[in-house]
Amino acid sequence: MVQSAAAIRSAEAARPVTSHYQAIPVRCNGGSRQPTTITNTATSLSSLSPTTTTYYRAVVKNGVCAEANSTAATVTVNQPAAVPTSMLVSASPVCSGTAVTLTANGGDNGSGALYEWGTGSTVGNNKMSPATTTAATRNVSPSTTTTYWVRRISNTTCTNTTGGVTNTVTVSQPATAPTSMLVSTSTICAGAGTQVTLTASGGDNGSGAYYQWGTGSTAGSNVSGTSTGNTRSVSPSTTTTYWVRRISNATCSNTTTGVTNTVTVNAASTISLTSASATQNQTVDEGNAITTTTYTLGGSATSYTISGLPSGLTHTMTSKAIRISGTPKTVGAYNYTITTTGPCTAVTITGSVKVEFKTGVCNTFNPGIIGTNEACTTFNAGTIGQ
């Protein structure tokens, strides 16, 4: 109720008096403030419902005298807040930990509303700390994909809380480095065509990282290719060190450190004759020594086995050189085989020794012995050996 005491006293002191009230709207930034007459001859005015802040005054007139205005009374009207129409985000998707600005858009603050913020799809739940701001923006740095909400809360006069709006910031996770590289076999033989599977183990792909592979001890050098899977097949011809690392998707765009492993390639086993060619296949008379035969191991061959040598011959190895020597004891033809041993496929080489009777003829039978090494010393009972 608005009442001017001066106007009332003036009206009671003199008659006839006419009276009414005027409502004068508040105008911001200048502009006209034309009063609106409110017909009311009573000494008080009630049941007002202004929608904006308004000045009220009483106007009285006594006879032919000029109107007199009371001091204006102000009714301040606070406006309730209106719900935001949307929430804007400065970026999405983003990499984990990236700063993002949330902006409440649309609606109206009314007379000094606050913004209340939280997470989740249900407005009002999981309020952030602090929960309110006077500004329409808020900075966040989510580590996982997060839905945010915002609403307005009016000041204490209006005390209304609006509905809210939501938006989601999609967060990509950066890749982390593999912890090791596994190999299906660490040692192979040259020329065998063995396929070796390399496997990146440990760490995390994050949000869709891929693998980058290469050779050498420094990750990033000699890039050989990329893959979405964590395995790669190789078939090196020489001992090779491989590396692997992860590269995150375009959102995070980080490249991890790498890990390495080495595939050792052994040379194929070999064995060859290194003495004169005639020594590989020899013919000797019984009781005569053979010419020493030498074979030499090569590649990854480390030792050997031998079979088929006649009694009386021996074999030894020094610094991969195998030597066969001695005097065969028994007449006959002997084929021998040498087989390499070592990490790679065995190879063989063969040779032969033929042992013959010593040539000789005696012209008497009794007790003639033909083919011995003894000389024929007598005619009647002698032996003819040569």
Greatest Cα-to-Cα distance within the chain, rounded to the nearest angstrom: 198
**Other residues' Cβ atoms within 10 Å of the Cβ of residue 7:** 21
- For residues 206 and 248, the answer to whether their CB atoms sit within 8 Å is yes
Which residue from 26, 51, 21 is spatially nearest to 36, judged by alpha carbons?
21
242 phi/psi in degrees, rounded to 5: -115, 150
User: What pLDDT was estimated at residue 126?
Assistant: 97
| In the chain, domain spans | 5-75, 86-172, 180-266, 270-356
Give the SS3 label for residue 12: helix
User: What pLDDT was estimated at residue 92?
Assistant: 95
- For residues 231 and 198, the answer to whether their CB atoms sit within 8 Å is yes
Token pair belonging to 278: 């005639």
Instruction: Tell me whether domains 180-266 and 270-356 share a fold.
Output: yes
Q: Which residue has the tokens 């020329």?
A: 191
Q: Which residue has the tokens 């990236």?
A: 98
Distance CA 227, CA 125 (A): 43
- For residues 21 and 57, the answer to whether their CB atoms sit within 8 Å is yes
User: What pLDDT was estimated at residue 40?
Assistant: 67
Write the class of the CATH domain 86-172: mainly beta
Strand locations in 47-179 (E): 54-62, 68-69, 73-75, 86-89, 94-95, 100-105, 114-119, 127-133, 137-140, 146-153, 161-169, 171-172
Distance CA 169, CA 188 (A): 51
Please, what are the averages of pLDDT over each run of 10 residues along the chain (386 residues)? 49 51 54 67 71 74 77 78 96 95 94 93 96 96 97 83 96 96 96 95 95 97 96 97 95 94 97 98 96 97 98 97 97 98 96 89 43 44 43
pTM of the model: 0.67
User: What pLDDT was estimated at residue 18?
Assistant: 55
User: What pLDDT was estimated at residue 37?
Assistant: 74
User: What pLDDT was estimated at residue 358?
Assistant: 84
Distance CA 199, CA 213 (A): 11
For the domain covering 180-266, report its CATH number. 2.60.40
DSSP designation for 11 = H
Token pair belonging to 386: 């040569």
- For residues 2 and 21, the answer to whether their CB atoms sit within 8 Å is yes
User: What pLDDT was estimated at residue 203?
Assistant: 97
Q: Which residue has the tokens 């406006």?
A: 79
User: What pLDDT was estimated at residue 309?
Assistant: 97
- pLDDT above 70 as % of the chain: 82
User: What pLDDT was estimated at residue 32?
Assistant: 55
Write the class of the CATH domain 270-356: mainly beta
Encode pLDDT of 58-111 as tens digits. 777 777 788 888 787 787 777 888 999 999 999 999 999 999 999 999 998 888
Q: Please give the C-alpha separations between residue 33 and each of 22, 73, 360, in angstroms, as whole numbers.
A: 11, 15, 156
Encode pLDDT of 227-282 as tens digits. 999 999 999 999 999 999 999 988 998 999 999 999 999 999 999 999 999 999 99
User: What pLDDT was estimated at residue 384?
Assistant: 43
- For residues 145 and 170, the answer to whether their CB atoms sit within 8 Å is yes
